[in-house]
Amino acid sequence: MSGRVVFHIDFDYFYAQCEEIRKPDLRTKPVAVCVYSDRGGDSGAIATANYLARRYGVKSGMPIKFAKKKLEEVPESVFLPTDFDYYTEVSDSAMSIIRRYADVFEYVGKDEAYLDVTKRVESDFKRAAHLAQQLKNALRSTVKLSSTVGISSNKLVSKIASDYKKPDGLTIVEPENVESFLDPLPIRSIPGIGKKSEEKLAEISLETISQLRSVDVFTLNGLFGRKVGTYIYNAARGIDDEPVSPRHDPVQYSRIITLKQDSKDFDFLTKD
């Protein structure tokens, strides 16, 4: 659809920010939210960390022991267990505000959503920028939540834009600026391209999206298969026709756990 205006909104360092909302004195300290395992002690992994902790190299997925080592000379650093019930409450409150700003609202997860605002802003990106700032202000004043918004004519570019300037960012990419915006970004900025795909492309000297755009679709299909190759070819050009689609917030049946022991044994891994 031509003339679309799509927001991607992402709550900054969500779990850690929720903890800062609950205890404002944490805002001046490195904070890591941890998924502790059943093994006891510091066994487990970092779920998320605030930006102060990230400055010391603490990242999501990092073993808690490694994170504590990086922060061992920072006595004010704080390690907290996850509280998913509380995070869900904060998310629900925020999402109820976000829905009011959308023509079409698509829930993605506790900390992100897409909004189609085309009718509301009459396809005008300046009006869209004002609307996004109003939304960010409403979240900050009501839920005390900082967020980052990417705005473009489709979901793909909006998601890349929301990751461009964090935290508390607002990036607008109008249709005529899509390629110039994408050009200098690393290939891994494209959603769905992970470390292995990035390495495979680096083997043929491709590191930026502008370099990726020089490769024909047949070469990409040969490397990744037709479906993924075509997606990468289109993504490098900022092409995405997928509509923002309303869907129900999912009921969470899964839970994050750490195994009691390290194992690559399939039978062990599939046990309840």
- Cβ atoms of 34 and 59 within 8 Å: the answer is no
Q: Encoding tokens for residue 101?
A: 């700003």
Strand partners, 80: 33
From 19, 20, 106, 112, the catalytic residue: 112
Say whether the peptide bond before residue 243 is cis (omega within 30 degrees of 0).
no
- Separation of alpha carbons 50 and 237, rounded Å: 33
Known catalytic residue at 198: no
- Cβ atoms of 116 and 6 within 8 Å: the answer is yes
Q: Residue 138: which of 185, 186, 95, 177 has the closest Cα?
A: 95
Q: Encoding tokens for residue 146?
A: 């900082």
Residue located via tokens 């299909």: 221
Q: Which residues are catalytic?
A: 112
